[in-house]
Amino acid sequence: MSDALLKVRDLKIGARVYPPGEKPRDIDIVHGVSFDLEKGKVLGLIGESGAGKSTIGLATMAYGRGGVEITGGEVWVNGREILGTSLKDLRKLRGTEVTYVSQSAAASFNPAKKIMEQVIEASIHASKFSKKDAEARAIDLFTRLGLPDPETIGDRYPHQVSGGQLQRCMTALALCPEPDLVVFDEPTTALDVTTQIDVLMAIKKAIRDTGVAALYITHDLAVVAQVSDEIMVLRMGDMVEHGTTDQIINAPKEEYTSDLVSVRSRKHEGKPPSDNPVLTIEHVTARYKGTNFDVLHDVSMELHAGQTLAVVGESGSGKSTTARVMTGLLPARDGQIVFEDRVLSADLKGRARDDLREIQMIYQMADVAMNPRQTVGTIIGRPLEFYFGMRGAEKHKRIDELLDDIEMGAEFKDRYPAELSGGQKQRVCIARALAAKPKIIICDEVTSALDPLVAEDILKLLHNLQKREQVAYLFITHDLATVRAIADSIAVMYQGRVVRYGTKAEVLSPPFDDYTDLLLSSVPEMRLGWLEEVVEHRKMESAGN
Amino acid sequence: MTRIPPAALFGLFFTSLYFLMAILAPWIAPYSMTEIVGDVWEPWSADHWIGTDNIGRDLLSRMIYGGRTTIFIATAATFISFTTGSILGFTAAVIGGWVDQVMSRFVDLIMSIPTLIFALVVLSVMPVTLTILILVMGLLDATRVYRLARAVAVDINVMDFVEAAKLRGEGRIWIIFREILPNALSPLVAEMGLRFIFAVLFVSTLSFLGLGVQPPNADWGGIVKENKDGIIYGIAAALVPAVAIATLAISVNLVADWVLNRTTSLKGGRG
């Protein structure tokens, strides 16, 4: 214990909150967390949003984000207590001894400066290296992290490299001043699954090569299982469980941890498609106004009553655009949409009110999908007024029923969206869609902004509602675990085309085309050694070619 | 309820004082607006609290009635500029396309001509009545409100909840008044204070130049003009309306700042 690089003892962190219409009050975010981290080890911090992961990560640099204050406990780095030391001493610590990799590299790099300048800035500032040595070191790190053209990539500006490359540049930035400890705060969360693997492997290799200690913060247990030696599970500022990665994944002691481990294992037997689909998209080609290239090429798919069609692919593959064409927000240039044997107008404006009612949509970000100045009652009640002309007591009775359907009580009727939790907001959006009694609901990444356990509940709710209402879902997602849990058929999209389409069993069984193989193998699995297997598998594939 | 900061308190006090004076003018003014009650430029006395003006009318009564005119014109002009400006701005943002282009370029065109010169030209060819004065001021100011309202609405228009309303099949009226307006209100309310001040300054300037409120009716700009020659003789009568204009402008500004701070999360406000 004496040689621990980082010692955290009974760390308590508080913040002042300003609830609307009330007096500001102080709350505790982290209630007494303790742990040790030895040189060259990686500790994964995992938990839902609000668990205090990032707050603890930043506290190891004696830093609290706006309004956040470290109220008690001790943090020892390299045998020194850093809480309460002067700002001057902290400046020597931050950025050189302890460094930080944030979730969004794009928001953290200065867009007006070249990458190299920013990567070596801290080392030069702390007089740790000369400019020449620092640059040589940066180029070495670029090579280790597998960046293309390591000699010259530093001369580019942040916008001239891809998101995954920039995230690796940020890792280089953190490793450049030879720190003792690196805090990785959700470094791969904002990336596509296929890119995530490269970054993950690069980070893992860099940690091993440099022998640095790391805190790896994430909400994705499958990811943290690949990189860390130990895992600490946090919930609402308390430690739930702390153990080796092997023990947490294979033999969790606490119920909460086993919930987290098993959350992705839900299985759903796919149903075979019926004979007449409720909606067909036939050979649709579309482009955005004012551009001269198509974003969808000859896309066809079918939706069946009471079934779910999952559309998967990475960002930019045309998933959401397909939904926009279906709803008529983006009229198709070519091809048609057939609903119950009649062709729907390509443009939203040409559709009858009843046609609009039949296709409803649920969005990814529930908080911007609801007008913040309307109450839950108004939000759910409006489709009832609009489509069915309901008024007064009749409408209120139906609102109560809908609130009951989404497992929320009538007392929520007068609340505003800001007063709801993330999961409750998404439930209200589901109720709003159901209020229209549609035949089709488009779910656009509805669970990707939610914590795993909350997302699981939403999926269950959607599934139960589908069984009862026989509504067809078009489920857009990039998360294949979600697909396995809910889909009956799958369409894999890549660069505006459907590259694979069929029932779940067909799509998920070999032989795979190249892209589907890449996509499927990129989904992190909850077991040790998965990352290495995938990388090995890919090497063999490319050797075979 | 949080405490009102001193600056806002000061602003609230003077703003309400002037507005009350304007509303209650006929009951609180000691003399009539046009009655000659004494000598030219009498000093302050018990009969005439702040003296008399350039032809011997009671200056306090002139000030009270003048405030009534100034504030009435400014309020009416602000009302017109806000209703036309914001409704047109929201419409342009929601419809978009060539409608937005035509309207926005037309507004740019009007804004490229200095407001004062534009108003002077219009008012010198048209009969100067209260209605025309208010309309000219209101419509010229509407261009500024249009720009703000359009900018705010363009931001809100791309939010998912507006898209959801469009998918539902809602008409433009619903989208403008029920989805966009409630969310655009706080920047617009703050802007309203500023536009009101500009209207006060604008009507005062016009009257000072002789194209605003016509004598014998009083307004603050006109009172400055009537009494400006007194300054040469060391008579402060012209300063009284000047100070009134300045304090009203500052007070309304302070109130608007406070409202903006309370209702938006900008500038560190708690909302």
Residues of A in contact with B188 (CB under 8 A): none
Residue B146: in which H helix or E strand, if any? helix B130-157
SS3 of residue A34 by DSSP: strand
User: Taking a C-beta distance cutoff of 8 angstroms, is the pair B79, B138 a contact?
Assistant: yes
Residue A495, φ and ψ in degrees, nearest 5: 50, 50
Find all residues with CB under 8 Å of B247, minimum gap 6, and list them: B14, B18
Average pLDDT of each block of 10 consecutive residues along chain A (545 residues)? 78 78 77 88 86 87 82 87 85 87 85 91 86 91 86 89 85 89 86 81 85 88 87 89 88 85 69 82 88 88 92 85 91 90 88 92 89 91 93 92 89 87 90 94 88 87 91 89 87 91 86 84 80 80 63
Low-confidence ranges of chain B (pLDDT < 70): 1-2, 263-271
Residues of A in contact with B271 (CB under 8 A): 20
Q: Which residue has the tokens 């489920």?
A: A475
Q: Quote the CA–CA distance of A435 and A406 in Å, as a whole number.
A: 11
Q: Which residues of B, range 180-239, sit inside 8 Å of A by Cβ? A: 182-183
Q: Point out the residue among B166, B179, B183 whose CB comes nearest to the CB of A348.
A: B166
Q: Which residue has the tokens 């008529």?
A: A328
Find all residues with CB under 8 Å of B178, minimum gap 6, and list them: A371, A374
Q: Which two tokens stand for residue A254?
A: 């606490």
First to last CA, chain B: 13
- Chain B: residue nearest A347 by CA? B167
Largest pairwise CA distance in chain B: 73
Subunit contact A348:B167, Cβ cutoff 8 A: yes
Hey, what amino acid is at A18?
Y
pLDDT at A267: 67
Residue A521 pairs in a beta bridge with none
Residue A302, φ and ψ in degrees, nearest 5: -130, 145
Residue B220 pairs in a beta bridge with none
Q: Point out the residue among A353, A365, A372 whose CB comes nearest to the CB of B169.
A: A353
Q: Quote the CA–CA distance of A188 and A224 in Å, as a whole number.
A: 11
User: Taking a C-beta distance cutoff of 8 angstroms, is the pair B69, B218 a contact?
Assistant: yes
**Could you tell me where the DSSP H helices lie in A95-235?**
105-108, 115-125, 131-144, 163-175, 193-210, 221-227
- Residue A296: other Cβ atoms inside 10 A: 26
For the entire predicted model, the pTM comes to 0.80
Structure ipTM: 0.76
- Chain B: residue nearest A357 by CA? B168
CA quadruple B97, B102, B103, B106: dihedral positive or negative? Answer: positive
pLDDT at B84: 95
Subunit contact A329:B164, Cβ cutoff 8 A: no
Q: Point out the residue among A351, A353, A361 whose CB comes nearest to the CB of B164.
A: A361
CA–CA min distance B7, chain A (Å): 22
SS3 of residue A13 by DSSP: strand
Residues of B in contact with A20 (CB under 8 A): 270-271
Subunit contact A386:B170, Cβ cutoff 8 A: yes
SS3 of residue A35 by DSSP: strand
SS3 of residue A451 by DSSP: coil
Q: Point out the residue among A363, A373, A374 whose CB comes nearest to the CB of B160.
A: A363
pLDDT at A219: 84
Residues of A in contact with B264 (CB under 8 A): none
Q: Which residues of B, range 141-180, sit inside 8 Å of A by Cβ? A: 159-161, 163-164, 166-170, 178-179
Task: Give the A:B interface size as CB pairs under 8 Å.
Answer: 47
Q: B67-104 burial by CB neighbour count: b if 16+ within 10 A, else e? A: bbbbbbbbbbbbebbbebbbbbbbbbbbeeeeebeebb
Length of chain A: 545
Q: Which of B167, B170, B175 to mutate to test the interface with A (most CBs of A within 10 A)?
A: B167
Give the DSSP letter string of A348-380. GGGS-HHHHHHEEEE-S-HHHHS-TTS-HHHHH
Find all residues with CB under 8 Å of B51, minimum gap 6, and list them: B41, B42, B43, B44, B45, B59, B237
Q: What is the DSSP letter of A94?
A: B
Q: Quote the CA–CA distance of A294 and A218 in Å, as a whole number.
A: 37
Residue A11: in which H helix or E strand, if any? strand A6-17
pLDDT at B263: 65
Residue A309, φ and ψ in degrees, nearest 5: -105, 120
SS3 of residue A280 by DSSP: strand
Q: Quote the CA–CA distance of A158 and A106 in Å, as a whole number.
A: 7
Q: Does B263 touch chain A (CB under 8 A)?
A: no
* Cα angle for residues A496, A499, A503 (degrees, 5° grid): 125
Q: Which residue has the tokens 């920047």?
A: B187
Between strands A68-77 and A6-17, the pairing is: antiparallel
Q: Quote the CA–CA distance of B21 and B68 in Å, as a whole number.
A: 7
Q: Quote the CA–CA distance of B235 and B242 in Å, as a whole number.
A: 14
Subunit contact A361:B179, Cβ cutoff 8 A: no
Q: Which of A353, A44, A81 has its CA nearest to residue A221?
A: A44
User: Taking a C-beta distance cutoff of 8 angstroms, is the pair A376, A409 a contact?
Assistant: no
